[in-house]
Chain A
Amino acid sequence: MELLQAFGVSLQAVWADSGFSAFTMGNGIMILVGLVLLYMAIVKEFEPLLLGPIAFGCVLANFPRTGFFTEPGLMQAIHFGIENEIFPPLIFLGIGAMTDFGPLLARPVTLLLGAAAQIGVFVALVGAMMLGFTVQEAGAIGIIGGADGPTAIYLSIQMAPHLLGAIAVAAYSYMSLVPLIQPPVMKLLTTQKEREVAMEQLRPVTKFERVCFPIVAAIIISLLLPPIASLLGCLMLGNLFRESGVMDRLSDTAQNSLCNIVTIFLATGTGMTMNADDFLQPATLLIIGLGLVAFIAGTAGGVIFGKIMCRVSGWKINPLIGSAGVSAVPMAARVSQVVGMKAKPGNYLLMHAMGPNVAGVIGTAVAAGTMLAMLK
């Protein structure tokens, strides 16, 4: 009898300590959301390298009583890396090592397309403020339009950490949907004649230019906008690894092993911010809606500025490369290529679109830096 009683008490204690006793409806819904995201990542292959760990992080975050954020351990270390903006600059180091600035250096005028496409960020900011978000929250939501995951996370942590999960999920989801979102906007805003414009071949870029640019750009931008010095400094350092020709091992590590490791931490940690209390709010739906508006406005801004440059240059610039001004490297450039090829087979726009695409990464970081300086 006593044994049975002890057994019953033990079972009760195990139950009381288990996650089931504290499991809420919200947790269940969020785990379902995580599973849907996992499905999109694995079956639909929407940015699986990012959405996979984000989705699994979301599932993990909704197990009650895990003590992930209160007790020292791996999860707290990952959270520390996110909270203290350690991971986004490390991702930028890898992006810099992977990115060829050549097309941008060969035709620097495409920097303007990268700037024009940032209009999406501020259209979403205006929309968010009209919907009642604070100016800091609106800035963090707007940066979704920059189509740059690390920058979106970097800004959200500093301006609206409670919205990080929704902003990161919206940013990465829409980045994976760029091939669906952009083409209708591009076609709507351009004529057949504009889409058929063939661009001259890019001039060769010397090693001197490739090595000097990241050094000088890091100095100038870091002095102008210190809040983003770590982001752009790492981007340029990574690119210097790549272009110097004497740091191949570092370049290899930055663009492969390190980038993969940091992606695991950043994406899982981002997913773990998606707990039911923060995510299951009406604001989340608004953020996802505003993110779409930001992407469409950014694409439109780039294409419209591309049309202006097309006229000014005497029909030497195809407006379709303007849409690549939203970052999403290199997906947005590929979309320009695909739409251009459909309009005129044999019209290769990929390398031309890489200029505004890379400029978009810098432009989004500059927009984030300006907002941090003005609004934080």
Chain B
Amino acid sequence: MSHPVTTNPLIIMLINMTVVFLVLMALGVVINLIHYIDPTKPKTAPKEEAPAAPAPVAEPESAAAAPVEEGISPEVVAVIAAAVASMGCAGTVKAIRPVERNNWKNSGRNAIQGRG
């Protein structure tokens, strides 16, 4: 057994506690570094955009809703989009259709009526 570096208990305490803190802090840095370089971590970008979602929601409406907006004015599209956004939905409204309209049924009806 070689000689101890010091036999003063307070110095031993001070040095050891410092080393313990430094090593564990270094591990903390390593953990943060691993988290930083982690290529598999979920992207945080969509989260940041979420609060701004209501505004962009309305914009694509007019363009996206254009093909289906027979009888639906841009103002109505904007109001519906705002209502959806106010309910906390961050998605994009891609289409607006009247509930009672069913294209398959209408198509069938038209076909039958056309035959007559």
Q: Do A and B bind each other?
A: yes
Residues of A within 8 A of B (CB): 104-105, 108-109, 111-112, 114-115, 118-119, 121-123, 125-126, 129-130, 135-136, 138-139, 204, 206-209, 212-213, 216-217, 220-221, 224-225, 359, 362-363, 366-367, 370-371, 374-376
Query: In the complex, how many angstroms separate the beta carbon of A210 from the nearest chain B beta carbon?
Result: 9
Pair B27/A122 contact, Cβ less than 8 Å: no
Residues of B within 8 A of A (CB): 1-2, 4-7, 9-10, 12-13, 15-17, 19-21, 23-28, 30-32, 34-35, 38-42
CA separation between A221 and B5, bound complex, in Å?
Answer: 21
**Of A112, A130, A217, A370, the contact of B15 (CB 8 Å cutoff):** A370
Report whether over half of chain A's contact residues are helix, strand or loop; otherwise say mixed: helix
Query: In the complex, how many angstroms separate the beta carbon of B7 from the nearest chain A beta carbon?
Result: 5
New contact pairs (19) apart from A126-B13, A366-B19, A370-B16, CB-CB < 8 Å: A105-B34, A112-B24, A112-B25, A114-B24, A122-B13, A125-B13, A129-B7, A129-B9, A136-B1, A138-B9, A204-B42, A208-B34, A209-B35, A212-B34, A225-B23, A366-B20, A374-B12, A376-B2, A376-B4
Pair A363/B24 contact, Cβ less than 8 Å: yes
Query: In the complex, how many angstroms separate the beta carbon of B71 from the nearest chain A beta carbon?
Result: 46
A-B contact pairs, 23 of them (CB 8 A): A108-B27, A111-B28, A112-B24, A115-B17, A118-B16, A119-B13, A123-B13, A125-B9, A126-B13, A130-B9, A135-B4, A135-B9, A139-B12, A204-B42, A208-B34, A208-B39, A209-B31, A213-B34, A217-B27, A224-B26, A225-B23, A366-B20, A376-B2
Query: Chain B residues with Cβ under 8 A from A126's Cβ?
Result: 9-10, 13
**Of A111, A204, A224, A376, the contact of B1 (CB 8 Å cutoff):** A376
CA separation between A206 and B12, bound complex, in Å?
Answer: 39
Query: Chain A residues with Cβ under 8 A from B41's Cβ?
Result: 206, 208
CA separation between A370 and B14, bound complex, in Å?
Answer: 12
**Of A109, A129, A224, A376, the contact of B23 (CB 8 Å cutoff):** A224
CA separation between A338 and B49, bound complex, in Å?
Answer: 40
Pair A108/B20 contact, Cβ less than 8 Å: no
Pair B12/A125 contact, Cβ less than 8 Å: yes
Residue of A with least CB distance to B14: A122
Pair B20/A115 contact, Cβ less than 8 Å: yes
CA separation between A374 and B24, bound complex, in Å?
Answer: 19
Q: How many A-B residue pairs have CB under 8 A?
A: 113
Query: Chain A residues with Cβ under 8 A from B26's Cβ?
Result: 220, 224
Pair A206/B30 contact, Cβ less than 8 Å: no
CA separation between A297 and B6, bound complex, in Å?
Answer: 23
Residue among B2, B30, B39 with max Cβ neighbours from chain A (10 Å): B30
Pair A111/B12 contact, Cβ less than 8 Å: no
Pair A207/B40 contact, Cβ less than 8 Å: yes
CA separation between A10 and B39, bound complex, in Å?
Answer: 80
Query: Chain B residues with Cβ under 8 A from A362's Cβ?
Result: 24, 27
Query: Chain B residues with Cβ under 8 A from A207's Cβ?
Result: 40
Query: Chain B residues with Cβ under 8 A from A221's Cβ?
Result: 23, 27
Query: In the complex, how many angstroms separate the beta carbon of A12 from the nearest chain B beta carbon?
Result: 46
Residue of A with least CB distance to B10: A126
Query: Chain B residues with Cβ under 8 A from A209's Cβ?
Result: 31, 34-35, 38
With A374-B6, A374-B12 as known contacts, state yes or no: A112 contacts B21, CB within 8 Å: yes
Residue among A126, A213, A362, A370 with max Cβ neighbours from chain B (10 Å): A370
**Of A115, A138, A208, the contact of B38 (CB 8 Å cutoff):** A208
Residue of B with least CB distance to A117: B20
Query: Chain B residues with Cβ under 8 A from A139's Cβ?
Result: 12
With A108-B32, A115-B21, A208-B38 as known contacts, state yes or no: A374 contacts B16, CB within 8 Å: yes
With A208-B38, A209-B38, A374-B5 as known contacts, state yes or no: A135 contacts B27, CB within 8 Å: no
Pair B19/A370 contact, Cβ less than 8 Å: yes
CA separation between A330 and B110, bound complex, in Å?
Answer: 72
Pair A374/B17 contact, Cβ less than 8 Å: no
Query: In the complex, how many angstroms separate the beta carbon of B24 from the nearest chain A beta carbon?
Result: 4
CA separation between A363 and B26, bound complex, in Å?
Answer: 12
Query: Chain A residues with Cβ under 8 A from B5's Cβ?
Result: 374-375
Query: In the complex, how many angstroms separate the beta carbon of A148 from the nearest chain B beta carbon?
Result: 13
CA separation between A207 and B47, bound complex, in Å?
Answer: 21
CA separation between A190 and B87, bound complex, in Å?
Answer: 42
Query: In the complex, how many angstroms separate the beta carbon of A159 from the nearest chain B beta carbon?
Result: 8
Query: Chain B residues with Cβ under 8 A from A121's Cβ?
Result: 16
